[in-house]
Amino acid sequence: MPELKALCFDVFGTVVDWRSSLITHAQALGQRKGITADWERLVDAWRAGYQPAMDRVRKGEVPWTSLDALHRGTLDRLLGEFGIASLDEADKVELNLGWHRLKGWPDSVPGLTRLKRKYIIATLSNGNVKLLVDMGKWAGLPWDTVLSAELVHRYKPDPATYRSAIEFLGDGEPGAVMMVAAHNGDLASAGSHGMQTAFVPRPEEYGPGQVRDTRPEHDFTVVAADFEALAEKLGA
């Protein structure tokens, strides 16, 4: 393996706890507006709409659309399905901006801070650049830079996304860059392009009773319990 220079992190689920963060934001808005709704179920349905919305872009059924716009489209559909009619435009904008305000897992900021001393640390996420930058500021994630599907107008696992990380941060050398994710599929794709891989399970990403991605299903370079353990294993 060549010398490792940069770590690229999947973000939703791997670095930040989107589910509990969004539920908190939505419940607060509901309380302020006097709306009773099953916000937990709405948030789970919102996230369940994530892959189908990107699939429409991946298949070329719609032109490139940022994740902010896809999230908004799914939200508008769900508000109809849940019979929530009393939100005005500013409320919907605020609800959608909840994706910019997701809190890190307890080990995220200390682990990233430690890893940053030895390596370049960057995102490699399907979130758009502004979403990721806003989130970095909000949650205190000390990224050296933000890489995003938006830079290449292709959603992971499109090869262009992983190749952009290798070009931009690895001087074209795939093994100089490591993908860090809580999802087997993302890492298997990264590994197929020659990147190093680190699996960090997040068994509560989808709430209680999660069954997917609780353990590594491939032969990854590193498996670590959290980002502090990853820093330890990578000598940072």
- Restricting to residues 191-210, name those near a copy of itself by CB under 8 A: none
Q: Which of 12, 39, 46, 168 binds a copy of itself (CB under 8 A)?
A: 168
Type of residue found at 106 = P
Residue 120 binds a copy of itself, judged by CB under 8 A: yes
**What is the distance between the alpha carbons of residues 176 and 172, in angstroms, rounded to a whole number?**
8
Are the C-beta atoms of residues 102 and 18 closer than 8 Å to each other?
A: yes
Count of residues interacting with a copy of itself (CB under 8 A) = 21
145 belongs to the binding site for a copy of itself (CB under 8 A): yes
- The yes or no reply on residue 171 touching a copy of itself (CB under 8 A) is yes
* Cα gap 217→105, rounded to integer Å: 23
Residue 129 in the binding site for a copy of itself (CB under 8 A): yes
Looking at the DSSP bridge assignments, the partners of residue 12 are 16
Does the protein bind a copy of itself through residue 136 (CB under 8 A)?
Answer: yes
Q: Which stretch binds a copy of itself (CB under 8 A): 13-21, 107-115, 120-128, 202-210?
A: 120-128
146 interacts with a copy of itself by CB under 8 A: yes
d(CA 39, CA 61): 30
Long-range contacts of 45-53 (CB under 8 A, 24+ apart): 45/78, 45/81, 46/22, 46/71, 46/74, 46/75, 46/78, 47/18, 47/19, 47/206, 49/74, 49/77, 49/78, 50/74
Residue with Cβ nearer a copy of itself (46 or 168):
168
Tokens encoding 155: 């959603």
Question: Which of 124, 169, 178, 180 forms a contact with a copy of itself (CB under 8 A)?
Answer: 169
Interface contacts to a copy of itself, rule CB under 8 A: 116, 120, 122, 128-130, 132-134, 136-137, 143-146, 150-151, 167-169, 171
